[in-house]
Structure 1
């Protein structure tokens, strides 16, 4: 089946998410849709899958114009979709999830679960999957859950299969396995649309590449295109992708974490006996698949986790038991993983967001009154220094792009004298150009003699920034290895395997 999208336009109020997009995907090819977060890729695929209705344009399959009123119509036309966030019901079995929405029944209306089990076994055997049809989906690793999503799509006899950012929660090995599955489907004649913002992946698996920027198709490229060429298409200018940094110059002192344990609100242990050090003048990157305790670890350091035991000592001072205010005042800068919810007040101006953590700073407040003139001068200086693209310091921070919002957070945190800088997912959801800037500022902070912790699920980012890498799995640190550790080793560690490399540090059991 050949898919054509002709002049697809989708508006949300005054925002044009898709602007007259044309796309052709042929049988037996992997066509990658490349673009930054917010470029319009997922909106376009949601139009294709019947979740949205286009304001203009046509969906054409084998020269016939289609009209989809929902995902059921798209599936009936032979379109399947593997979503970025799995559309599975955790308390259902694999077979129950696969048959959900097109249940087959036996006599007296009983569900024909055996037929669903047989279908799961058939597709699993075809791809070499090891999947128990009776396993509860909630008990399966994320990589296996994704395979269930693929089986679901193929059970509807999908001839056009859309993968929407499918590697976001996978280890490198699981990503490689997924690439193999996509190639096998392609070789069997399936037309595949692969949505991603990761340059490495698109060059490895795509037969053709279409780049979308700000809702428009801005060019096509072959898989032989360089990362620099693809990045330039994505952001509209030349981008430096390599992180340049000198060898670290660690010094005495810094952060010492010993036997840290965090229990969440449901009394589950989410950080389990973690120990590590970060010296002034080095970057420790914490890697791992999202959800293995990294978030809770950084929140414990900043004082946001109440049920914390163990020791967090910064320059000789114990942080466990201190309030967030006390920890910030001690010199800890923190970039949270969700800038919109935890890092900014969207309704406040850029200027006001730049001093959210300085409510008692005499430089900005006099007898409880904000010195507006001083704040404006400070804000204009930081807007220039951090290249924040805004109409002015009075603009609401919520109206900035993701990259510029992140620069506001960075400007606020890095404009104080710091003893420790913690950045959690510092480049999530921002454009390649902003990533370049953020990386430079993180390295500059390290070079200024500040101990830096970077938490990231992006292995390329981890490898580019880190002097040392700690990998977390199920709340524990599996191992700490040098920053140039092989990608394959890191992937195995992300799945819970201890490193065999002789350069790995001893980690308490």
Structure 2
């Protein structure tokens, strides 16, 4: 199926999200839409999928004009879409989610047997390894994404739109997704891959179209240089290497001793973690996702119930204090999951920017909030952090994922800090904004603030870190300098001690992202 978009225009009030965009998707190709946060990529695909009605232009399938009044029309025409934020019912099973809206029946009743068989058939075809009876809420993010793909394929999608599909995936899950994309392409399915991650675009694309501020600004071959793609995407030269001055660490500000966390089932998820962070340094916590990083940050913020040990900030104990007390002590916090833990979707951008300070001057008191001060603060931060929105009074849910992340980072950095803890600080953010946010983090360090960064991205870890603590199975295997070799870090993330990893690398061993992720899962 050949898909054409001709001069598609979509406006929201005076804001032009898509400005006469032309796009052709050939049969059996992976066509990447590359652009910065808020460029209009998702809006364009929402028009294609029938979620938005275009204000101008037309859609053609195999040369014939079509008009979609809703997603049902798009699905009937052979177009499927996997949204950045999954459209799944958490308490339903995999099979129930896959057939939701087109349920097979027998005798007027839901035929769950047929639904299970459908899931098994598609899963076996693509090696998805999905249990039809598993509850969505019990599945990891990568498996939930495969459920969304099975949903689309069960409706015989010939064009599959993947909207920022790797934003919340581990490196191993990303590799798996790319293998699935290639297999789908080889079987004749066209894929529209919406992303801003240059490395992934180069790895999987057949063609690349770049959108900037609602317009197509060019196309590129996957062999194009990353720096050239970045410049085309953001409209200026972008430095892909972070230029930072050496740290000048001061005295110890945070001292963590024998920190332990036990979950509800009695499993020790954090086991005897000890480290310190100096003023004016970045300590990066690296590790395969699921090795205790989440529990560590939540324990420091008072978000874990069963915590033992000690965490002293400037001599004051944090363990046993409430989250509000900890935040009020001057700790800036960026949670790893912005959707569930960092934002209130129905609140405005302005309100989300003061969530942790709304009852304190100048934004309010215990009794009232001061809207004028909240609005002025929002206008300043929206401009400083280049948050793409037509108004700070819009609900934060209307923003793209990367712009939502900018809101979270802006809030965390918008006050005097005694400690910054940022988990996955640039998740879902485009290359130009990553450059800006990394610089803001280093500026905070250079002001003397102790900084903890938790990231599964080794590039981010090695660029920001002055020291790196590697976590494995709820413990810290070692703390190494920030310029430690990537292969050494990779082996440590797979369970090697620092000394053993250095010896192995010296002997010629290397660990790819996929291999270390496999090791982490086996652990």
The bucket for the TM-score relative to the shorter chain is 0.7 to 0.9
Q: Does 1:9 align with 2:9?
A: yes
Q: Offset of 1:143 from its aligned partner? A: 1.8
**Counterpart position of 1:120:** 119
Q: Offset of 1:205 from its aligned partner? A: 0.5
Q: Does 1:130 align with 2:129?
A: yes
The separation in 1 between residues aligned to 2:117 and 2:324, in whole angstroms, is 58
Q: Does 1:277 align with 2:278?
A: no
Q: Determine helix, strand or coil for the equivalent of 1:427.
A: coil
The separation in 2 between residues aligned to 1:501 and 1:327, in whole angstroms, is 33
464 and 341 in structure 1: CA distance in 2 versus 1, 3 angstrom threshold: farther
Q: Determine helix, strand or coil for the equivalent of 2:131.
A: coil
Q: Is this contact kept in 2: 1:167–1:175, CA < 8 A? A: yes
489 and 87 in structure 1: CA distance in 2 versus 1, 3 angstrom threshold: farther
Q: Is this contact kept in 1: 2:327–2:356, CA < 8 A? A: no
13 and 292 in structure 1: CA distance in 2 versus 1, 3 angstrom threshold: farther
Q: Offset of 1:128 from its aligned partner? A: 2.5
Q: Is this contact kept in 1: 2:343–2:408, CA < 8 A? A: no
**Counterpart position of 1:388:** 384
Tell me which moved more, 79-88 or 245-254: 245-254
The separation in 2 between residues aligned to 1:345 and 1:155, in whole angstroms, is 37
**Counterpart position of 1:73:** 73
**Counterpart position of 2:236:** 237
Superposition TM-score, scaled by structure 2 size: 0.75
Q: Is this contact kept in 2: 1:340–1:346, CA < 8 A? A: no
Tell me which moved more, 21-30 or 286-295: 286-295
Q: Offset of 1:206 from its aligned partner? A: 0.8
Superposition TM-score, scaled by structure 1 size: 0.76
Q: Does 1:97 align with 2:93?
A: no
Q: Offset of 1:82 from its aligned partner? A: 1.9
Gaps of 5+ in 2: 363-369, 503-522
Q: Does 1:146 align with 2:145?
A: yes
Root-mean-square deviation (CA, aligned residues, Å) is 4.4
Q: Is this contact kept in 2: 1:270–1:293, CA < 8 A? A: no
The separation in 2 between residues aligned to 1:247 and 1:180, in whole angstroms, is 40
**Counterpart position of 2:108:** 109
CA deviations over 1:436-456 (Å, ceiling 9, x no partner): 232123234445654310134
Q: Determine helix, strand or coil for the equivalent of 2:116.
A: helix
Alignment of 1:290-439 (within 5 A): 297-298=296-297, 300-302=299-301, 309-322=308-321, 332-334=331-333, 347=350, 359=361, 388=384, 409=411, 412-413=414-415, 416=416, 419-428=418-427, 430-439=429-438
Q: Offset of 1:209 from its aligned partner? A: 0.9
Q: Is this contact kept in 2: 1:353–1:412, CA < 8 A? A: no
94 and 490 in structure 1: CA distance in 2 versus 1, 3 angstrom threshold: farther
The separation in 2 between residues aligned to 1:403 and 1:91, in whole angstroms, is 27
CA deviations over 1:236-284 (Å, ceiling 9, x no partner): 11111212346666666232223546799x9999974462423325422
Q: Offset of 1:323 from its aligned partner? A: 6.2
Q: Determine helix, strand or coil for the equivalent of 1:423.
A: strand
294 and 164 in structure 1: CA distance in 2 versus 1, 3 angstrom threshold: same
267 and 141 in structure 1: CA distance in 2 versus 1, 3 angstrom threshold: closer
Q: Offset of 1:183 from its aligned partner? A: 0.9
The separation in 2 between residues aligned to 1:434 and 1:59, in whole angstroms, is 32
Q: Determine helix, strand or coil for the equivalent of 1:254.
A: strand
178 and 311 in structure 1: CA distance in 2 versus 1, 3 angstrom threshold: same
CA deviations over 1:398-456 (Å, ceiling 9, x no partner): 8997798678546633xx4x553323443356553342232123234445654310134
The separation in 2 between residues aligned to 1:359 and 1:295, in whole angstroms, is 31
Q: Offset of 1:313 from its aligned partner? A: 1.2
**Counterpart position of 1:466:** 465
Tell me which moved more, 325-334 or 57-66: 325-334
Alignment of 1:141-290 (within 5 A): 141-245=140-244, 253-260=252-259, 272-273=270-271, 275-280=273-278, 281-286=280-285
Q: Offset of 1:43 from its aligned partner? A: 1.3
**Counterpart position of 1:55:** 55
Tell me which moved more, 483-492 or 245-254: 483-492
